[in-house]
Amino acid sequence: MSPALRSLIALMVVGALASCATPPEPYQPSPQAQQDLAKLLAGKSAGPRMSCLPNYQANDMQIVDGRTVAFKLGARTVYLVRLSPGCEQLAAGHYALLAKQSGGLGYCQGDIVHVFDPVSRFTIGSCGIENITPFGVPGSRY
């Protein structure tokens, strides 16, 4: 094989790999999700990100959209959980339940969670937990 042909093949391979490496577009919540978040977080400020949300703080779940779930702890604290792509079905009619295998510390960054349809009893999607951020009334503990 000639050096020119090898160079051409190498350029084609590099070009093909570069086209596969385009970063995904950043997540942008819908206008409705933005309104829901504004209501949910009104009067609250963000605390430092957490690696895990303990089970005892993960009872009152509110689906914001297919990439955001909030856990409310009374009226003072909201834990916002951002999800990777794959759980978009959560937003479709709010009929699916975000489920996690039992055991462990709770919901943790990097965990894989599943969207479970309680009617059909099928898992209809899965995604990872990207981050967990507490929001609280100024002066309160997270």
Encode pLDDT of 74-87 as tens digits: 888 999 999 999 98
Question: Is the pTM value of this prediction over 0.85?
Answer: no
Three-class secondary structure of residue 131 per DSSP: strand
Q: What values do phi and psi take at 3, rounded to 5?
A: -60, -35
105-122 tens-digit pLDDT: 788 999 998 888 888 888
Sorted by where each begins, the domain ranges of the chain are 31-136
Report the candidate in 77, 117, 76, 113 with the shortest Cα–Cα distance to residue 94.
117
Tell me the per-residue pLDDT of 10-61, one tens digit each, with 9 for 90 and over.
545 555 544 454 455 677 888 899 999 999 999 999 999 999 988 777 778 8
Rounded to 5 degrees, what are φ and ψ at 102?
Answer: -70, 160
